[in-house]
Chains A and B, each alone.
Chain A
Amino acid sequence: MKYVIIGGSAAGVTAAETLRKYDKKAEITMVSDETFALYSRCLLTYLISGAIDEEGLCFKNKDFYKANNIKTYLGKKAVAIDAKNKTLTLEDKTAIKYDKLLIATGASPKKLSAPGIDKKGVLTVRRIDDAREIISMMDKVKQIAVLGGGLIGLRDAYALRKRDKEVTVIVKSPQVLSQMVDKEAADIIQAVLEKNGIKVKTGVAAKEILGADSVSGILLDNGEKLQCQMVIIGKGVNPNSEIASACGLKVEDAIVVDEFLRTSDENIFAAGDVAQTHDIARQVKRVNALWPCAVEQGEAAALNMSGKSKAYDGSLSMNSVDFFGLGCISMGITKPKEAGYEIISKVNPGVYYKKLVLKGNMVTGMVFLGDIKAAGIISILIKSRIDISSIKHLLLEDNFDYAKVMPLVADNQEKFSAEEYKDLMISF
C-alpha cells in the first residue's frame, strides 16, 4: 500500500503516525513545502513572545520520520494531482504514485487589499519563516499595528506586547473575538488587554499602509493616522484547497468530505484546516480550523485510508485563549442568531463570566471566562447531545464537576461509549 500525505502539520503528522501504527509495512510518503518540520504553528506566537525557543516549537520528537519509517519531501510544494493515474506532482516535477492520498494542506492567512500592503514590515504569522522575520526586526520596531481582533490577531498582539512593543489592535467589528465569544466576554477581555498596555480600536479598519519602502504608519478609515514600524495582518485563514479544485474535487468553503473524510474521489481524503466537515453544535457542514479537530480528522482519515471504516463524529468549534492570566474557552454556538435558544449565565465580577447556550435542553455552546476548569465536561455534554435538564441548575455552579454528570452518563451509556466512562461507572 502506498500512502501519500500532503502537509506536515497536525492532520498530516497524525495521519502518518496512525497509518504506521496499524500497518508496519506500508509505504508512507509525506510532502511539505516547509523544511523546518514537525513544528506547531499555534506556538509561533509563543516563539515571538520569547516564551519558548525554536526547539520548543516541535510537537513530535526529531526522529519522528525515521522512527516511523516515513519518506519525506520537505521544502517541496505539491502542485498537481492526477486523480485518474493516482499520481502527485511536486514543483520540481517529481511524480509520486499513490494508492491513497491525504490532502492536509492547511490554510493560509487571509489577504488584505489595502494600498501599501506590499511594503516592508507588513507581515503575517503563519509559518516559521514569518516568525523568524518578525523576531529579526524586533530591535528596529517600537510601535506595531495588528489588523484583526480575532483569535489570530489578538494572539499576535499579545506576543508582541510581551516583547514590550507598543501594540495597537485594529478591529473592524464592534468587539474583539467576534467569532469566538459574545460581547460580554469580549468586553472583559478587551479591558484586560488594555490594562496590560495593548491599545484596542474597535469599529475601524485600515485604509492605507503608509511609508516609503518600509512601513511608517497606517491610515484608518476614520481618518486617524497611527505611527508604526510594523503591521501584522491577523485576520483569519483561507483553506489551501487550490490543488484540490484544480484536479476536479468538490470544493465549497473548503474541500468537501463525507463522514469518512473522503473527498469526491474515492482514493483521496482530506483533513484539517482544508476540510469542510460536520459541525456537531450547529449540525451543518463547516470548517473548524483548529488543532484538536485537525488531529482527530488526521487520525480518522488515516483509519479510513487503511480500510478500517471509521465514521468521524464531526467537529466542535472550540477555542482556548489566555491573555495575561485570564483564561477563556468557548465552544459551539456562542451567539445564537435565531430564536429557540436559551441562555443561562453567571457572573462573578472580576473573577469569572460563564455562559451556556441551550437548545431543547441540550447544551449547544458555551463561553467560560476566568473559571474554565469545567470546560471539558461541558464539551462532552455538547458532543453527546443529551438532555441536561436534570442538572441544569448545577452547570454554572462553582463546584460543578464530573460527579454531577455521572447520573446522566449512567442513564445514557450508549452516548458515552468510551471505555474510560464505563470504567468510572462500574461502582456507581
Chain B
Amino acid sequence: MSKDLLNKKKSKEVKIFCDITKCVGCKSCEIACAVEHSQSKDIYSVVKESSRPKKRVKAQSIGKRVVSLHCQHCEDAPCVKACMSGALSKDPATGATLHDNDKCVGCWMCVMVCPFGAIVQDVENHIAVKCDLCPDREDFACVAACPTGALFVGTKEEFEKKLKEKAKKE
C-alpha cells in the first residue's frame, strides 16, 4: 500500500480529487493539513504552538454542495508565471507546483492570480503557503484524514472510473 502510494506520489498523472457528492464538509482535511504543517505534528500540541500552522486546504460550499479544495498543481500554473521571486516553480518530474519559502518575499502576486484561491497568506512569516503534497509523509494528510473517501488519489481515469462504478451501484 505505502509503496503504491509512494509511486503514485511520484507520478505526474496522479492528483488528489474530491468527490463532491461524498464531501460532507466535516473539515477533517483542514485539521489534518494544519497539523501536518505544524512543528509538532500533534493535534494536542499544535494548539499551544506560538506560530499557528496554516491549513492549505479548505472545505468550501455552495448550497448543500461541499468541496475540499487545495492547490490543483496546474500544469500551466498562473502562480508560477506571476511569481517574481522564483519561489514558485514546477517540478519537471512530478508536475507538482513547488514553493520555496526562503525565496518568497510575500508580494502576494500568486494570490492575485490563483484561480482557485488556493494560496494562503502566512501573515506572521510574511510568506505564501500552499499545498506541498506532504513531503514529510508517504501519503497525503488530507486524504488519510478523509472519513468518507471523498478525497481520492489517482489518475483522472481512475477517478472517473470510480465515479462511474458508484453511479452504477446507485
Interface residues of A (CB under 8 A from B): 10, 14, 40, 42-43, 46, 51-52, 56, 58-60, 291-292, 295-296, 299, 318-322, 325, 327, 329, 331, 372-377, 379-380, 401-404, 406-407, 418-421, 423-424, 426-428
Contact = CB atoms under 8 A, between A and B. Distances in A.
B116 interface: yes
A19 B8 CA distance: 30
The list of the 3 closest CB pairs from A to B, nearest first, reads: A59-B86, A403-B60, A376-B114
Nearest to A316: B113
Interface in B119-166: 119-121, 123, 126, 156, 159-160, 163
Given A329-B112, A372-B111, A418-B76, A402 B160 contact: no
Contacts of A377: 115-117
Contacts of B60: 401-404
B86 A60 contact: yes
Which of A14, A60, A372 has the largest count of B CB atoms less than 10 A from its CB?
A372
7 contacts: A59-B83, A60-B86, A375-B111, A376-B119, A401-B117, A402-B60, A426-B156
B98 interface: no
A52 B106 CA distance: 12
Contact of B65 (A56, A321, A428): A428
Contacts of A376: 78, 110-117, 119
Given A292-B113, A407-B62, A43 B82 contact: no
A239 B56 CA distance: 39
Contacts of B10: none
Nearest to A374: B117
Given A58-B86, A379-B112, A295 B117 contact: no
A406 B62 contact: yes
Interface string B5-25: 000000000010111111000
Nearest to B68: A403
Nearest to A423: B156
Q: Which of A299, A401, A419 counts the most B-chain CB atoms under 10 A from its CB?
A: A401
A292 B109 contact: yes
Nearest to B102: A56
A375 B120 CA distance: 12
Contacts of B156: 423, 426
Contacts of A10: 84
Contact of A56 (B72, B85, B117, B159): B85
Given A325-B123, A403-B66, A426-B163, A373 B84 contact: no
B26 interface: no
Contacts of B106: 322
Interface residues of B, number: 50
B85 A43 contact: yes
A209 B61 CA distance: 58
Given A40-B84, A376-B78, A376-B115, 9 more contacts: A52-B85, A52-B105, A320-B107, A320-B112, A331-B112, A376-B119, A380-B115, A420-B116, A426-B160
Nearest to B71: A420
A174 to B, nearest CB: 26
A373 B112 CA distance: 8
B61 to A, nearest CB: 6
B75 interface: yes
A299 B121 CA distance: 28
B29 to A, nearest CB: 14
Contact of B75 (A59, A319, A419): A419
Contact of A51 (B61, B105, B113, B118): B105
Interface in B52-74: 58, 60-62, 65-67, 69, 72, 74
B86 A299 contact: no
Contact of A291 (B17, B65, B84, B159): B84
Nearest to B76: A418
A402 B69 contact: yes
A428 B72 contact: no
A58 B103 CA distance: 9
Contacts of A60: 86
Nearest to B124: A325
Contacts of B22: 427
A295 B163 contact: no
B106 to A, nearest CB: 6
A333 B81 CA distance: 22
Contacts of B115: 376-377, 379-380, 402, 420-421
A296 B58 contact: no
A10 B86 CA distance: 11
Given A292-B82, A376-B119, A423-B156, A329 B108 contact: yes
